[in-house]
Chain A
Amino acid sequence: MTQIIINILIAIYNGMIFLHIPYALGFSIIGLTVLIRLVLYPLISSQLKASKKMQELSPHLKNLKTTHKNDAKRLQQETMKLYKDHGVNPAAGCLPVIIQLPIIWGLYSVLQEVVRLAPDKVVSEVNSKIYPVLSFFKISAPWDPTFFGLPLGKTPAQLFSTMAIIAILVPVLTGFFQFIQSKMMFSVPPKKEGEKEKKKDDFASVFQSQSMYIFPIMIGFFSYTFPIGLSLYWNTFTIFGIIQQYKIAGLGGLSVWINKIYGKK
């Protein structure tokens, strides 16, 4: 997995170098992320569509749950019927989620290593990972480890003394985009089965209801301690996700705010 990702990354990097694009490493990271997102696009789209319809149906589902409280089999059949009538087809099951996780993790671990390579080791380290078949992709000179002046291998924490604004801006932006995505995801406040079940410890229930806010802050904090190259990857990933979500399911939970800004309602 790791090696495949490195080979694709270097292939893109070679393309960038061939076209004399500056900051080729940074753009290669963006390119690789976009490529993977494009491959996953149909799978995730189908999931988003199903998810949107299911959210619309959730009041009906609640009704069914109360009417067939004691008959689990009947409830199952009625649910199935409801989905069929409204054309919900969660055909992919949980595959989109399960497939994404190793990919996200794989990209993370590869980029983590790649951006941190010392300039004198770049050529030997990278070339040792290239498949023999693809040996024409071997690089001959170390890459430019910066992206518009930002050192991709350094963390905002390390840059705090020299570029304080950047060091703050990167985590804030990363958290912000993450928040936009989370906000769009839940068009209705996430009230789920967790409510009916006995409320366990307070921390868990707070975490659930506030995960939309907690998670972006966590991500922002992570990006403060991770190399900027990783934040570049993660933001590309999130922004692509936001655009895809917007195209498929609309603004979702964000629409409330957008309407406020434009003075509607």
Chain B
Amino acid sequence: MTDWNTLSPHRPTGIDDHLYVDRPDSASRMLAERIRAGGGPFAVAGPMGCGKTSEIFAAATMLQQDYVVVMVPLDRMMDMRTISVPEVLRAINSRIFDLAERHLKIQLPDQLKKQIEGAFLVRSSPAHADILRNTLREVRRHSIQQKIVLMLDGLEKVASSVASEILVSLFSYSAEASLVFVVSPNLVSGPQSYEIVNQARVVSIDPVNVWNEDEGFVEGRKFLLEIAKRRLSLNSISNGFADQLDMAAFYSGGVPRVFLQILHDAAGFASLSKRDFPIDVDFGRAIADQADSLFRVLRDGDLESLRLANGTSGVEVQIDRRLRFLTHGLLLHYHVNHQVVARPAPLLLRYL
């Protein structure tokens, strides 16, 4: 019997995770190659649910032989309402310290250990900044890899101004480590993004192509189906189920989390009707649910703006509206023939 809870729409894949499926654009491989090439810092941006965390973990998997990879999931480590620069520096320090002592078996100098342990009593950013610099240098020096990549996740959950302040403070470590940050689209779009975009290379993790009109939609839909198959441990699927998954893939707009949520919800409705497997009506309900809740975030003029933006680059949409569209996943950007094509979320088609 299929355990639909294994779909876990909100769980990204981790390091060395057999559930990871390579994207059609091989984003994680490209990120890993760019890090190896010495570029950065990298701001990994994209709509919620597109797989930013999964891709950085996949890149980390590829890099872990040659780099000391430090994953810092800020949103799991602290309350994002009260996040500040000193707190972030302290969190990074504690992750590196933990990794060094427990996993890499590196003996850090006692003086540094005392500084890190005493860091909880220190409030000033400059003090934390120096401690972190020392830590990075010592770990680099004592590690086999001699290179560090620092991957910070969770900044897309704080206000842009706070995230920006944190990023700017971390840019000063570019010489000590390769830096990768997951950020919201707001931070790297529009006039206010200048400070970040000027210093960081933006890596977009966008929805995969699913529209029939767009080249690459077959690969995009196959990618999503493969995610479902792996999470459900299905070696094969029937033609009927494949058709339903294909429909769910389209309505997800190519956003993996939305796709998994549709499937998960459809399975829930199926179980209510004592079915082991969802059928068309279950998918219909699940899609209607997702469409309804997406509809809630629309404001005056949004539908017309989405209609006009369909098939364009989206750049003509007024900037504040565009950022809201991107953050909510109302307008999705696809990469088609080396160009960016904007389309409304397919879930909204019934309203357009």
A binds B: no
Question: Which residues of A are interface residues toward B (Cβ below 8 A)?
Answer: none
